[in-house]
Structure 1
Amino acid sequence: MKTKHQFLIALVAFVISTAAMPKLQAQTKKVNNIVLVHGAFVDGSGWKPVYDILVKKGYHVSVVQQTLTSFDGDVAATIRILDQQDGPCILVGHSYGGAIITEAGNNPHVAGLVYIAAHAPDNGENEADLGKKIPSAYKSLQKGSDGFDYILPASFPADFAADLNPAWARFMAVSQPPTSDKVFHGVIQNAAWRKKPSWYMVADADRIINPDLERFYAKRANSHKVEVKGASHSVFASRPTEVAALIIEAANGALAQKK
């Protein structure tokens, strides 16, 4: 039979463990919803390898299909998908999609941001000006007289997708959606990475965004940074295992982190 003293010790231990339980649950709870945002000159189908990995692991994944015709419209398209989520989510952006998630990431459903070889401008900035400060290697961008840009199809595989399956890279080249030049000049009003935790993947063989610019973005946002050696700008499609792993890391850690 327990003595009164032993009973009091057990009671105190129970109270302490019960009080700590909500905090422990908050630290270990993961985010189950993932929202993927594509960049310029591609569409959401490029996310399929990452989507397949995440869905097999039990995540609920949504893919935004923005029009690439206006920055505000693309942000609105992303927010439309975010509003459909039933709880917190991780918002992922590739390339120009990084500018989109930087603004759309203020949505209350967003628990964390993941940048995949992506732009991450600050308040008052746009990606076009930042790209000029640390220029990229490619010279294949074509500016149409109608205000829409595209990448020269013959140069697309080498410049955009050098580590992707060649047949897929050629298909991406001829199926690329032209992108309004004005979307690259969309000015950030409220950079979400200033308030929410972020993760960043640098593609160290990227010819579309200079890898040094990607490193600058990651450092400035205090993102958890990983680098993928030999990865092209198409890292979101060519290295799905690594990309999915970073997204899962964000899903496991976002609720435990606060800026």
Structure 2
Amino acid sequence: MSTTPTVLLVHGAFADAGSWAGVIAELQQHGIPVLAPPNPLRGLASDAAYIASAAAQVKGPVVLVGHSYGGALISVAGAVENVVGLVYVAAYVTEEGESLGELQGRFPLSPLVSNLREVTYPVEGAAGAGAGAAAAVEVTIKAEAFPEIFAADVPPEVTKILAVAQRPLTAGAFTETASAAAWRTKPSWALVAGSDQAINPEVQRFGAKRAGATVVELEGASHAVAVSRPKDVADLIREAVRATS
């Protein structure tokens, strides 16, 4: 069994596991085992359970890394026994019993909130049903606002692709409450994106401080910091791996 933790990368809303590509390349160059499973984005409890299951099936220790909404997931999933560290990247750091809405509501809202596009999707059991079938709401960022809000420091030709390839997040995820706060018993690290327009940097700083995390702040970094500054993100993850090996 390897004593070097496996890094399990959890993407957030409006993105997919491909957003970690640069970070994965950096970690692999240093011989660090990496996994980047898909995040279902269907709800805090169910998504956290999915990530917890993925972590529990890794042989050996795991460092969970969460970007954005993924931070809330690793705070819950991190309670799994073989998780030895948590890394938050431009992320929500939630407390037990707290929702994303409650956490971000303590601070001025970011431009993200007024630039979400809502659509509906059928809920389980509604397939094949006629008019009036049960549906739920999911959100993406309006395409015209996406570059400034999500990826202001990413080349325009890349943001155009990211904007149309968004993975939507169920709207209910903002009101579900976290069932655990693994940072209370596991060491944590946090990267604050200083120019984030999706999650107010003050929300990131507050959560990181409350968790007692080792904090790195990148001035001028957008919410898509894993895309624009993968080496900086990977360096913090490597610090967590070294500390927990």
Give percent identity, aligned residues only. Answer: 40
**Residue in structure 1 matching 2:223, options 228, 233, 237:** 233
Match of 2:18 in 1: 45
2:115 is aligned with 1:140: yes
Q: Secondary structure at the match of 2:234?
A: helix
Unaligned 5+ segments in structure 1 are 1-28
Match of 1:24 in 2: none
1:55: how far off?
A: 0.9
1:188: how far off?
A: 1.1
Match of 1:61 in 2: 34
Instruction: Output one character per residue of 1:103-161: Cα deviation in whole Å (capped at 9) or x when no partner.
Output: 00001111000000100110110112211221213331123354111100111011100
1:67: how far off?
A: 1.4
Return the structure number with greater helix share.
Answer: 1
Separation in 2, partners of 1:72, 1:161:
28
Match of 2:166 in 1: 176
Partner amino acid, structure 1, of 2:202: D
Partner amino acid, structure 1, of 2:110: S
Match of 2:8 in 1: 35
2:110 is aligned with 1:120: no
Larger Rg belongs to: 1
2:213 is aligned with 1:223: yes
Separation in 2, partners of 1:212, 1:70:
24
Residues 237-256 of structure 1 correspond to what in structure 2 (within 5 A)? 237-254=227-244
Contact kept, 8 Å, 2:115 with 2:142, in 1: the verdict is: yes
Q: Return 56-65 or 181-190, whichever deviates more.
A: 181-190
Q: Secondary structure at the match of 1:213?
A: helix
Question: TM-score w.r.t. structure 1 length?
Answer: 0.84
Contact kept, 8 Å, 1:116 with 1:202, in 2: the verdict is: yes
Q: Secondary structure at the match of 1:147?
A: strand
Q: Return 192-201 or 76-85, whichever deviates more.
A: 76-85
Give the superposed CA RMSD.
Answer: 1.4
Contact kept, 8 Å, 2:149 with 2:197, in 1: the verdict is: yes
Instruction: Output one character per residue of 1:13-34: Cα deviation in whole Å (capped at 9) or x when no partner.
Output: xxxxxxxxxxxxxxxx963310
**Residue in structure 1 matching 2:78, options 105, 115, 125:** 105
Unaligned 5+ segments in structure 2 are 121-135
Question: TM-score w.r.t. structure 2 length?
Answer: 0.89
Q: Secondary structure at the match of 2:241?
A: helix
